[in-house]
Amino acid sequence: MGFAQEKPNIVWIVCEDISPYLGSYGEAGIRTPNLDDFAREAERYTRVYTTSGVCAPSRSAIITGMNQISIGTPHMRTHNDPRLMPEGVPSHSAVLPENVRAFPEYLRINGYYTSNNAKEDYQFEEPVTVWDESSVAASYRNRAAGQPFFSVFNLAITHESQVIRPPDSLYYDPEAMTLPLYYEHTGQMRRDKAALFTRIEQMDRDFGELIAQLKTDGVYQNSYIIFYSDHGGNLPWMKREILERGLHIPFMVRHPGGQKAGSVNNDLISAVDFAPSMLSIAGIQPPQYLQGKAFLGPHENEEKNAYIFAARDRTANHYDRVRSVSDGTFRYVYNFMPEVPKYQDLAYRKQMASMREIIEMRDAGEITNPFLLDWFQAPKPQEELYYTAKDPDEVHNLAGNPAFAEKQAELKTALFNWLEAVGDVAEIPEAEMIRNWWNGKDSPPVTATPVIEKVAGGVRLFSDTPGASIGYRIFDGAIGDTTRVREIKTWDFFYLMPGNKATTVEVPIPWEVYSGGTVPLKPGQTIQVNARRIGYLPSENTLEMNE
């Protein structure tokens, strides 16, 4: 089937774990020529923040348009090796409120082809209705002729793991690295930052290759092309923090036809705003339940954010509960668990050489930097206030300073008003939250078997589970092969690790999204139906049309 395309394409190019360490953001010591060229054709946003300093909670908010603390996805992470989960907390898929969807499903309902290459990590297993394809072979190239598309490409080479496993050779002189105020100035710390800069330059190369592909395919000029990082980071005491260094990200939008080329946008934007903005670009009125505000497209919200908010909760098997709010100039932090230090003793992070060095220096009493020592102090202060505009490393806590009492009170009020407005599931012990989702049982509920009702000209589909998404596939005759072979064209560094020689991959045949009405079904055809509420187990049904 062909399409007479009227709606714009949307391309996301998502890197991982970086603050705005790019030439276009003023980082003079790094070489990012492709992203710098892109910035000259794009609208560059200077004040975009994620809702978490670590990937899974952040990606959960991005894909749903809902703050993770309001939908049960604040802990890093819900799917995990049982050995890394707290006692009594099973690995699980979060059960989202019944009205909450992953936003690409709305795009599909409105005719878009959606592809994700390839990372998900949303804290839940998504229904089959979210993506036409999500794999290392996923691409807009597989859509029908003229069909508008939303395609995600993940550039994972800047992930924390790629500093843990540093490149064979560094592109930057470690001695030339400038370190934040909260580090000891050691050779190893400078080497790890040089490794990070090397990975960013490699990511810039991958970005350039992908942009070249978009141009070759003729989709560059008339698409929204959006580049951003899934959160800040990724060195010690950056990633996982809900401070400037863990939340502030690069974000650039190239508009169709090059509109707003070279412009700078200083609006305060949260990653929870991404979902309604993408729907707005596609001409879709964002659902009222979404907590973000559209900042692009015909449904752009005229009311701008006065504040942006973030949350930090469990990481692996270590609990903390921290909330922060920023007005773009000051940041206020409230620690609900002051009895535990800011530092979490995470085995994964200790694989990084500079993290091991910090621990060794701490244990030997060799840390002289008071800002770094603050990471390990317990108790920690219940309240923190930073003049971020003048103290970008956020090391000078002004909470309790009479000169800033009014600002502290303003931001504290804004934070607690927000917590009341969106709700904070982390008030409930995690094991209890899961028991409530699972109705006191040891496993998640199962979505009701979808009902297939024969009507004139085809079938209608129903599910008795509120909030279930319904997908279907139609086969000529009995259900045959449900997969197809795709050539791998991936931008995911994890898949391209040494030793992986595969050039093709089997991917599922896409499911269509059922949004009501009659699905045409001819005699001799078979319909396969899959229903799933997010967090429940899926359920399927089939019908062969014999008349």
Is the pLDDT at 12 greater than 70, yes or no? yes
Nearest-CA neighbor of 469 among 531, 402, 406? 531
Nearest-CA neighbor of 466 among 372, 534, 519, 515? 534
**Would you state the pLDDT for residue 505?**
87
Would you tell me which CATH number, out of the four given (3.40.50.300, 3.30.1330.20, 3.40.720.10, 1.10.287.3510), belongs to the domain 11-81+93-303? 3.40.720.10
The answer to whether the beta carbons of residues 113 and 132 sit under 8 Å apart is yes
pLDDT digit string, tens, across residues 48-61: 999 999 999 999 99
Exposure of 486 in the CB half-sphere (CA atoms within 13 A): 20
**Would you state the pLDDT for residue 385?**
99
Is the pLDDT at 348 greater than 80, yes or no? yes
Is the pLDDT at 534 greater than 70, yes or no? yes
Going by the DSSP 8-state scheme, the letter that residue 83 receives in this structure is: G
**Would you state the pLDDT for residue 2?**
55
Nearest-CA neighbor of 51 among 265, 318, 346, 274? 274
Strand order in the sheet with 525-532: 512-513, 469-476, 525-532, 539-544
Is the pLDDT at 248 greater than 80, yes or no? yes
117: β partners: 153
Neighbours of 363 (CB within 10 A): 9
User: What is the rounded distance in angstroms from the CA atom of residue 180 to the CA atom of residue 471?
Assistant: 50
Nearest-CA neighbor of 486 among 208, 134, 218? 134
Residue with tokens 């309001």: 70
Average pLDDT score over the chain:
96
Residue type, 192: D
Q: How much is the average pLDDT of 129-157?
A: 96
Instruction: Classify burial at 127, counting beta carbons within 10 Å of its beta carbon; exposed 0-12, middle 13-18, buried 19 or more.
Output: buried
Residue with tokens 């992203």: 35
Q: How much is the average pLDDT of 83-89?
A: 93
Q: How much is the average pLDDT of 75-81?
A: 94
Residue type, 20: P
How many helices and strands in the chain, by DSSP H and E?
12, 22
pLDDT digit string, tens, across residues 431-488: 999 999 999 999 999 999 999 999 999 999 999 999 999 999 999 999 999 999 998 8
484: β partners: 507
**Would you state the pLDDT for residue 430?**
98
Q: How much is the average pLDDT of 404-418?
A: 98
Nearest-CA neighbor of 60 among 49, 82, 75? 75
Provide the pLDDT confidence category of residue 498 given band limits of 50, 70 and 90. Answer: low
pLDDT digit string, tens, across residues 105-123: 999 999 999 999 999 999 9
**Would you state the pLDDT for residue 261?**
98
Is the pLDDT at 489 greater than 80, yes or no? no
pLDDT digit string, tens, across residues 289-342: 999 999 999 999 999 999 999 999 999 999 999 999 999 999 999 999 999 999
Q: Which residues are CB-neighbours of 387 under 8 A, at least 6 positions away? A: 329, 330, 396, 398, 404
pTM for the full model? 0.97
**Would you state the pLDDT for residue 504?**
86
The answer to whether the beta carbons of residues 11 and 151 sit under 8 Å apart is yes
Return the domain boundaries, the chain: 11-81+93-303, 312-437, 451-490+511-544
Neighbours of 468 (CB within 10 A): 22
The DSSP result for 354-388, as a single string, is: HHHHHHHHHHTT----HHHHGGG-SSPPSEEEE-T
pLDDT digit string, tens, across residues 517-533: 999 999 999 999 999 99
Q: Which residues are CB-neighbours of 334 under 8 A, at least 6 positions away? A: 322, 323, 324, 382, 383, 384, 412, 415, 416
Which residues are annotated as catalytic? Answer: 55
Residue with tokens 């956020």: 394
Helix (H) or strand (E) holding 393: none
pLDDT digit string, tens, across residues 206-237: 999 999 999 999 999 999 999 999 999 999 99
